[in-house]
Amino acid sequence: MHTISAHALQAVTRLVARRMGSTDAEAAEVADHLVRANLAGHDSHGVGMLPRYVQLLRDGLLVPNQTPLTVLDSGALLVIDARRGYGPRMAADAVRRAIGRAQELGACVLALRNSSHIGRIGTYAELASAAGCAFTAFVNVADHHNIQTTWQAAEPRLGTNPFCAAVPGADGPAVLLDMATTTIAAGKARVAYNKGVPVPDGCLIDAAGNPTNDPAGFIRDHTGALKAFGMHKGSGLAVMCEVMAAVAGGQGAFHTARGGILNSMLATVIDLSKLGDPAAIARGVESVKAHVKSACPAPGYDEVLVPGEPERRAAAKRMQQGIEVDDITWREIRAAAESLGITAAEFDQAAGADYSKLQVG
Ligand SMILES: NC(=O)c1ccc[n+]([C@@H]2O[C@H](COP(=O)([O-])OP(=O)(O)OC[C@H]3O[C@@H](n4cnc5c(N)ncnc54)[C@H](O)[C@@H]3O)[C@@H](O)[C@H]2O)c1
């Protein structure tokens, strides 16, 4: 295991993204996105995605510095085709446009299509929250094979289709729900596999449809599937992500994307200052948080949390103590960098003094 500072991870990510062909600005956006995901505790969507991004580039399925196509720009409706552009920049730029439009008109509905992997959806909710806006997103994931089994199904038919909603509170941070509609995000099975640990009970089935805790088949052989969370309800939300983001949003390609991962997102951004008194809304959000947290914890727990709290706590801790990257993931990142012609010396220099200082084990 390596413990690496956020700063050092950003430098390494920027170096790799630059060598993939991105401009400095795009590389910085990608690095910021991936490292913020690590900071939030979602290693599934952090720097461990870099080897996959390099492979997508090599397969011609990720386009650095892409100019997105505005398909529709009509008042409160924005439809943007990312044309397989680098997801973290495509989605952040699209959400920034939607925030601007919401600040003019009160609200904006954004349909983003055909983006290469957009990563942690909560990052876009945080952009909206920082601008005083509420945010919701239905997201579709199209990959080269289906990986989510819906309720009562023994075979996968969907991707991990995340849903996200956030409203800013009085102290800035939002109540922020950001989740895959599978019991765990697919990347969490990858992280477990790389660490050599089992996934939790009830998350995964094997090729024969039997429950398993071993992520090897799923990650290495692409067999088996992740289960939808919450029985028929989570499964229903996954189906709604499919139809809202991919069908209503107009992507047209739904569950599978030949050879590479594509996201589409149907998001709403609402400027709370246009909806009512933002200070009163923020006070209301704080009072809901306090009310929920005032419940007596169930046996085995010492407190009740609200959505978004685990990520904020993880970020505060990891900012101070560094981010743990398992050895296999670190080696995969180094190999991906090397495949782009980055020398070991360049890599280590980017990782810098912080890296050597914090590296353990
Ligand atoms: N781009 C894509 O294709 C894609 C696909 C799937 C998932 N994702 C991302 O994967 C990430 C991980 O998803 P996940 O479903 O594994 O997340 P998760 O299960 O760790 O967390 C889901 C939500 O539950 C909340 N939560 C967690 N523990 C809690 C507790 N004890 N009390 C109250 N709330 C709690 C979190 O704040 C979060 O909002 C997300 O950031 C998501 O956007 C992206």
pLDDT digits (tens, 9 = 90+) for 339-353: 999 999 999 999 875
Q: 74: exposed, middle or buried (C-beta count within 10 Å: 0-12, 13-18, 19+)? A: exposed
Mean pLDDT, to the nearest integer, of 191-203?
92
Q: What is the CATH number of domain 183-227?
A: 3.30.60.50
Whether residue 257 has pLDDT greater than 90: no
Whether residue 214 has pLDDT greater than 70: yes
Given a contact cutoff of 8 angstroms between Cβ atoms, the answer to whether 352 and 13 are in contact is no
- The token duo for 110 is 């954004």
pLDDT of residue 123: 97
Atom number in ligand 1 closest to CA 310: 37
What is residue 223's three-state secondary structure?
Answer: coil
pLDDT of residue 351: 86
pLDDT of residue 173: 72
Q: Atom 14 of ligand 1 has which residue's CA nearest to it?
A: 179
Cβ neighbours of 307 (radius 10 Å) = 18
Place of tokens 């397989």: 84
The domain defined by 66-182+229-294 carries CATH number 3.30.1370.60: yes
Whether residue 143 has pLDDT greater than 90: no
Mean pLDDT, to the nearest integer, of 25-47?
97
Question: Which has the minimum average pLDDT: 52-56, 137-141, 143-147, 334-338?
Answer: 143-147
Atom number in ligand 1 closest to CA 182: 15
Residue of 113, 116, 97, 94 whose CA lies nearest to 21: 116
Mean pLDDT of the chain: 93
Q: Atom 18 of ligand 1 has which residue's CA nearest to it?
A: 179
Around ligand 1, the residues with Cβ closer than 6 Å are 42, 44-45, 117-122, 141, 160, 162, 176-180, 184-185, 188, 263, 305-308, 310-311
Mean pLDDT, to the nearest integer, of 58-68?
95
Mean pLDDT, to the nearest integer, of 291-313?
97
Residue type at 241 in one-letter notation: C
Residues of the chain with CATH 1.10.1530.10: 1-61+322-360
- Pick from 167, 178, 188, 292 the residue to mutate for probing ligand 1's pocket: most ligand atoms within 8 Å of its CB: 178
Percent of the chain with pLDDT over 70: 95
Residues of the chain with CATH 3.30.60.50: 183-227
pLDDT of residue 361: 33
Q: 63: exposed, middle or buried (C-beta count within 10 Å: 0-12, 13-18, 19+)? A: middle
Cα–Cα distance, 353 to 346 (Å, whole number): 13
Close Cβ partners of 87 (under 8 Å, ≥ 6 residues apart):
115, 116, 117, 118, 119, 263
Residues of the chain with CATH 3.30.1370.60: 66-182+229-294
Eight-class DSSP state of 182: B
Residue 315 confidence class, pLDDT cut points 50, 70, 90: very high
Mean pLDDT, to the nearest integer, of 247-273?
82
pLDDT of residue 360: 39
Given a contact cutoff of 8 angstroms between Cβ atoms, the answer to whether 255 and 145 are in contact is no
- Pick from 43, 115, 179 the residue to mutate for probing ligand 1's pocket: most ligand atoms within 8 Å of its CB: 179
Atom number in ligand 1 closest to CA 177: 39
pLDDT of residue 150: 95
Whether residue 129 has pLDDT greater than 90: yes
Residue 254 confidence class, pLDDT cut points 50, 70, 90: low
Whether residue 74 has pLDDT greater than 80: yes
Whether residue 34 has pLDDT greater than 90: yes
pLDDT tens readout for residues 221-243: 889 999 999 999 999 999 999 99
CATH architecture of 1-61+322-360: Orthogonal Bundle (1.10)
Given a contact cutoff of 8 angstroms between Cβ atoms, the answer to whether 49 and 123 are in contact is no
With residue 302 as reference, give the H or E element that holds it.
Answer: none
Sheet (strand 225-227) strand order: 148-149, 225-227, 204-205, 211-212
The three-state (H, E, C) secondary structure of 246-287, written as one string: HHHCCCCCCCECCCCCEEEEEEEEEEHHHHCCHHHHHHHHHH
pLDDT of residue 172: 67
Cα 69 to middle of ligand 1, angstroms: 30
Q: Atom 2 of ligand 1 has which residue's CA nearest to it?
A: 119
pLDDT of residue 144: 79
Mean pLDDT, to the nearest integer, of 278-304?
95
Residue of 226, 216, 123 whose CA lies nearest to 180: 226
pLDDT of residue 162: 97
Place of tokens 């800013």: 168
